[in-house]
Structure 1
Amino acid sequence: MKNHPSFPRHIAVVVTLFAAVLLPITPSQAAAKIQHLISPGGIEAWFVQDATVPLVAMEYAFAGGASQDPADKPGVGNLVADLLDEGSGDLDSKTYHERLERRAIELSFSVSRDNFRGSLRMLRDNKEEAFELLRTALTSPHFAKEDIERIRSQVMSDLRRETTSPSSLAGRKFLELAFGNHAYGRQAAGSLDSVPTITVDDLKDYTHRVIAKNTLKIAVVGDVDPGTLGELLDLTFGGLPARASLVPVPDVVVAKPPQRAFVPLDVPQTVITFGSPGIMRHDPDFMAAFVVDQVLGGSGLSSRLYREVREKRGLAYSVYGALAWMEHSALFIGNTGTRADRAGETVNAIEQEVRRIAAEGPTEDELDQAKSYLKGSQMLQLDTSAKLAQALLQYQLDRMPIDYIEKRNAMIDAVTLDDAKKAAQRLWGAGLLTVIVGRAPQAAAQPAAATAPTKPD
C-alpha cells in the first residue's frame, strides 16, 4: 500500500485486512500491560503482549521525515517510502509482493514532517518471514530504474490531480502562508517540478542519512513473547547504521494572523482552510488548548463551529478545527467547504466564533462536555491492536511517559475554566490565517447579502 501523506497527520492510519477481527483493548488494560522491552542487542520498544487473537502489529519511526528532503527537491523521502517495498535483497518487486500476499503480510512506509514511518501486520505464525522481509527492505532496497520510473509516474499523476483539487490547493497555500520558506512549508509529496529531478543517488543518500538505530522508536502489540520479539527486533533493525546524519531543522513560529489568501479555481464549491499559531506538545498550556479546541471545532456535533456554521446557517455539511504539533512548530488548522456565493458569509461566521471564544473562553458547561467527550473517545481510539500500536508509537515520538494512557484523563479533568480561557486567548486572540479556494474572490472578501437559509451543496 502506497501512502502519500497529507497534513496534518500525527498517527498514521493504515487499513489492514486484520482490522475487522482485532478485539477491543481498553486503555486501562493496555496501560497495565505496556512493557519497556530492550532486546539483547539494545533495540528498545514499547510492547503489549496480547494473545487474544493470533496477530502481531508493529509501528515504528525514524526521525527525519520530509524535513530532511533537500530544499530544492521536496518529495525525496516520500519517493523512498513508496520504493522500499519494490524489491530488496534477492527478490525483485513482483516476487517481493507475491511473498507478502502469500503470507497475508501488510507492510507499508510513509513520511510525516518529522519522521519516516513504517507499519507491519502479520499472523503470528508468519512473523519470522514478515520481519525478514522488512529487514531486507530497510537494509538492501533495490531502487531499480524501472521501479523508480513506475512509482515516479504514479506520484506525478497524483500531483497533477491535486492541481485541480480545491482541498489540496488550500492545504498547499496554507502551508506556504504559515511557514514560508521553512521545510514545513514544502509539500511532503513534492511538486511537479521537483519529483522529476529526484535521482537514485538522492534516494540512497536519504536512506543512508535517515534510517538509523539511534532515532528509532518502536511499538508492538500482539501474540508474541518478549524473548522472541527481542530476537526479531535485533535481526530486523540490528544491522542498520548506528547513527543518523540529519540536517538540523530550525524552530519556526507560524505566521502572525490575521492574513488572508485567495486561490482562484472554477469549481462549484469553495474550500476554506483556516488556522493560527498553535501550542507545542510540552507547553504547560497544551492540555487546556486540547480541551478548548474541542469546544470550538472538535469532533462530534456540539462544537461551536458546527452549531454556528452548519446548524444555524446551513453553510456547510461539516466544519472542524484541530491542533497539530511537530518537532519545531505547532498550529491550529481547520477546514470547511461551502457554496461559492456563500463563501464570504462562511468566513465571517468562522471568524466571529473565533473572536468570541478568544475574548470570552468557553462556558463551564461547554468545558464539561468537551472533557467528557475527550475521555470517552479515547476508548474508541485504542480499541484494536493496530490503533494501540499507533498510539504507543506517537506517545514515544511526543516523549510522553510510558504510563501516559493512565494519566491522560486526569490531566484533562485538571483543566480549569481559567486555563481554557487563557489557552483560547493564546490560540485565537490575534485572529486567523485564512485560505479560500474557489470562484469569485469578492464572494470571500465581502459578506454575502442576507438570504434565507438554504441547504448546502
Structure 2
Amino acid sequence: MKRFVLALGLMLGATVAHAEIDIQEVQSPKGFKAWLVEDHAIPFVALELRFKGGASLDEVGKRGASNLMIGLLEEGAGDLDARGFAEQSEAIAAQFGYSISDDAVQISAKYLTEKKDESIALLRASLNDPTFDQASVDRVRQQILTSLRSDKTDPDQIARNAFSAQVFGDHPYGSDYAGTVDSVQALTRDDVVTAWRNALAQDRAYVAAAGDITAEELGEVMDLLLSDLPETGAPLPERVEVETTARVTVLPFETPQSVALFGHRGLPRDHPDFFAAYVMNTIFGEGGFESRLMTEVREKRGLTYGVYSYLLPKDHAELLIGQVASANDRISEAVDVIRDEWAKLAENGVTQAELTQAQTYLTGAYALRFDGNGPIAKILVGMQMDGLTPQYINTRNDRINAVTLEDIKRVAAEIIKPDELTFVVVGDPKGLDGGIIH
C-alpha cells in the first residue's frame, strides 16, 4: 500500500483552513485496486465505482440498451422489488446513484459507517443480482421514451445530436446514448441483460473511497462487490479521427432564438501540451465572464446571455467545442464574432495579463474542489480513469503556473483551426445560410 500526502489550503470566505489529503493506493485480497482517503472525523463513507466503456458498448441496432440497463439497477435486486429496494435504502439512510456516459458507467454510494454491512449488501445486489423484471423494464422504458420525445422539441438537444452525427458519423459517439424512440421501443429484457454483462466487468472497474473506512475494509468491500462480476467486458469501440471543415449547418426550427454548437478536433488528455491548451481555453472560452468569448459576444455586443468553449477529451476522440444562443436576427453576427476570435487566437495567442489572471484563477480554485468525502472520491476515481497518479494533485498547480506565453502561442497555432471550425445552428436564423465557409 502506497501513500501520498498533500496539504491543501481550503479557502472558506475570508478564512483559510488546512486539510491534509492522504491518498492510499489499496489492493484487495483478490487483486482489485482502489484509491482511498481515510477520514474518521465523521462516521460516513463515500464510495465511487466506474466501469470503462459505458454507452459506447451498445451493440449494433441496440442503441439505448446500456442507458436502460443503468436505469434498472435500483429497480429491484435480489429478493427486493423496486419499492423494497427504495424502502430499505431509505431505512438505513444509504444513497445510491447510477448514471452513464459515452465512456463509463458511474455508480456512487454514500452510507453511514454503522450501516455499512446493510449498505454494501444492497449495492452488491444491485450490481450482481438485478432482477430486470419486465414490469420495471417497461416502466423505465416509458420514462426514457418520454424524455426522448421531449428532446425532439429541445433546440439544445437537437443541436447536440446533429453536431455529434456530423462529427462522429456511425461511431457510437455519433448518436445519443439514450437511443431513439424506435431503438428503445424495440429493446427487450434480453438486450438489457446483455448490456449489463457487457458493461459491468472486473477488467474495467475503477474504485475510490473517502471517509470512515480503512484500507483493509475497502479491500473487503471491493471483493464483495466485484469478484462475482464477469472477468471481461465487451470490446471497446475503435478510435475515431475527427475531421471537419469550416461550414455552417442550419436546421430549421421554430423558436425565438437560435442555438449554435461549434468546434473541431481537440487534444488528448495525455498530450504533453494539454495543460497549455487547458489554460488557453480558460482564457478563451471557459473562464466565465472574464473569457474572451464572453467579453466579445456578450459584454461588447449584447448578442447572448452566455457563450463558452471547452476541451472534450473522450476515450476514443477529442474535441474543442463550444455553444452559444442568440436571437434569430443576431445569431449570424454571433457566429461571425466567434469565427473572428477563433482566428485571432490562432494567430496571436494571448496576453501576459490574460495568462496571469487565468493561472491565478485556476490554481486558487483547485483546492475548493476537495470540499467533502463525496467530491474527493469522485476526483480520485476520475484521476484513475484519466491515467493520472496520486502525485498529480501535488504537481497540478505547478504545471498550470509553468505554462508560458510562448507555450500558448505555439499550441494555439497548432490546435486552433479556423479552416476546420464547423457550426450547427438550430432555429430560424436570419441572414445565416448553411454551407461551406470560404
CA separation in 2, counterparts of 1:132 and 1:275?
Answer: 45
After superposition, the C-alpha distances for 1:64-110 in whole angstroms (9 at most, x for unaligned) are 11110013221111111100111011111110111111222111211
- The equivalent of 2:40 in structure 1 is 51
Instruction: Check the 8 A contact 1:80/1:203 in 2, yes or no.
Output: yes
How is 1:95-106 mapped onto 2 (pairs within 5 angstroms)? 95-106=84-95
- C-alpha distance in 2 between matches for 1:94 and 1:291: 48
The one-letter code matched in structure 2 to 1:352 is D
2:341 aligns with 353
Q: Give the equivalent residue in structure 2 for 1:425.
A: 413
Alignment check: 8 A CA contact 1:25 1:384 kept: no
Distance, in Å, in 2 between the alignment partners of 1:169 and 1:333 is 16
**Matches of 2:433 and 2:359, distance apart in 1:** 34
Structure 1 CA distance, aligned partners of 2:429 and 2:232?
A: 52
Offset from partner CA, 1:146-199 (integer Å, 9 cap, x none): 000100000000001010101111111111111111111111111112111111
Q: Which amino acid aligns with 2:39?
A: D
* Structure 2 letter corresponding to 1:398: D
- Conserved? CA contact 2:332–2:429, under 8 Å: no
Query: In the alignment, which of 404, 411, 414 is matched to residue 402 of structure 2?
Result: 414
| Aligned CA distance change for structure 1 residues 301 and 26 (closer, same or farther; 3 Å) | farther
AA in 2 matched with 1:132: A
Pick one of 278, 284, 288 that aligns with 2:266.
278
Task: Give, in whole Å, the separation in 2 of the partners of 1:426 and 1:124.
Answer: 51
**What CA deviation, in whole Å up to 9, does each residue of 1:398-436 have, x standing for no partner?**
100121111111111121212111221233223412111
What's the TM-score once normalised by structure 2's chain length? 0.92
* In 2, Cα distance between equivalents of 1:56 and 1:177: 43
Distance 1:123-1:417 versus aligned 2 partners, 3 A rule: same
Q: Does 1:166 align with 2:172?
A: no
Aligned counterparts of 1:213 and 1:189: Cα–Cα separation in 2: 24
Q: Secondary structure at the match of 1:34?
A: strand
The corresponding residue for 2:276 is 288
SS in 2 for 1:194: helix
Mapping 1:145-184, distance limit 5 Å = 145-184=134-173
Whether the aligned pair in 1 keeps the contact of 2:249 and 2:434 (CA below 8 Å) is: no
Residue 391 of structure 1, aligned match among 360, 379, 389: 379
- Distance in 2 between the 1:104 and 1:441 partners? 54
Root-mean-square deviation (CA, aligned residues, Å) is 1.8
Distance 1:405 1:61 in 2: 20
Q: Aligned equivalents of 1:416 and 1:54: distance in 2?
A: 45
**Per-residue deviation at 1:445?**
5.9
**Structure 2 matches for 1:216-227, cutoff 5 A?**
216-227=205-216
Matched, 1:72 2:72: no
1:131 aligns with 2:138: no
Contact 2:55 2:67 in 1 (8 A): yes
Is the contact between residue 263 and residue 423 of structure 2 (CA under 8 Å) also seen in structure 1?
Answer: yes
What one-letter code is carried by the residue in structure 1 that aligns with 2:405? L
Task: Please say if residues 56 and 236 of structure 2, whose CA atoms lie closer than 8 Å, have aligned partners that are also in contact.
Answer: no
Q: Is the 8 A contact 1:351 1:431 kept in 2?
A: no
Deviations 1:7-65 (A, max 9, x none): xxxxxxxxxxxxxxxxx9989722xx000011122221100001232211111111211
Give the letter aligned to residue 264 of structure 2: S
The residue type paired with residue 29 of structure 1 is E
Specify the alignment match of 2:323 in structure 1: 335
Letter of the 1:365 counterpart:
A
Equivalent residue letter for 2:144:
V
Structure 2 equivalent of residue 211 of structure 1: 200
1:195 to 1:401, Cα distance in 2 relative to 1, 3 A: same
For the 8 Å contact 1:262–1:436, the answer to whether it is kept is yes
Aligned residue identity for 2:80: L
| 3-state DSSP of counterpart to 2:55 | helix
Quick check: which one's strand share is greater? 2
Counterpart position of 2:242: 254
Q: Is the contact made by 1:213 and 1:240 (CA closer than 8 Å) also made in structure 2?
A: yes
Task: Name 1:29's counterpart in structure 2.
Answer: 20
Q: Which residue of 1 aligns with 2:28?
A: 39
1:263 match: 251
1:15 alignment counterpart: none
Relative to structure 2, which stretch is displaced further, 276-285 or 416-425? 416-425
Pick closer, same or farther for the CA change 1:362–1:431 going to 2, 3 Å: farther
Distance apart, 1:229 and its partner CA: 2.1
Structure 1, 249-258 or 78-87: larger mean CA deviation: 249-258
Match of 1:305 among 275, 293, 310: 293
2:246 partner letter: P
Percent of pairs with identical residues: 37
Indicate conservation of the 8 Å contact 1:28/1:406, yes or no. no
Give SS of 1:121's match: strand
List per-residue Cα deviations over 1:366-401 (Å, max 9, x = no partner): 111111111112122222221111111111001001
2:25, 2:83 → 1: CA distance?
A: 37
Deviation at 1:441, TM superposition (A): 5.6
Q: Secondary structure at the match of 2:237?
A: coil
Identify if the C-alpha distance between structure 1 residues 139 and 91 changes in structure 2 by more than 3 Å, giving closer, same or farther: same
